[in-house]
Structures are given as C-alpha cells and as structure tokens.
Amino acid sequence: MESVYLELLDVLPTSVLLNTFHVKILDQCVICMEKYCIGDEVIRLPCFHAFHDDCFVDWILECLDCPICRWPAFEFE
C-alpha cells in the first residue's frame, strides 16, 4: 500500500521557493516545524496548504489528510 501512496504524490504540484516573499508567506512547515528557506522544495495540496516535500512524504504514509485542515490530500473517483 505504501507504494500506492507514493505514486499518488506524483499528481500533487511541487515547487521550489525562489524568493523571500514566498518564504515569508509560508513561514514554517507544520510537520517538522522548521522555517522555510529559499531553495526548499514544497508540495501543495488541493486545499492550498504547502509542506516540505520530504516531510509530506513521511506524513502521507500515516495519514491521507492535510495536517492543517484535514481536507483529503487526494480525490479518489
């Protein structure tokens, strides 16, 4: 089942924080509680919350919902 979750991650958009504006808006990852830095890779969920890519990979193996609002990270049809 773990491999299915990891494959689902490919459908979520990722980006690299390129400037201080984005770093200040996001502030910190609620999974690891570390502040974002320029160059960090983040993953954005359908609810628009963002997390460090690596942190969310660990999270998704335990829970399929957003750590902030509990909205489902994936929509299954």
Domain ranges of the chain: 2-60
pTM > 0.85: yes or no: no
Write out the chain's pLDDT in tens, 77 residues: 566 666 777 778 899 999 888 888 888 999 999 999 999 999 999 999 999 999 998 998 888 899 999 999 877 65
Looking at domain 2-60, its CATH class is alpha beta
Report CA dihedral (47, 52, 55, 56) to the nearest 10 degrees: 30
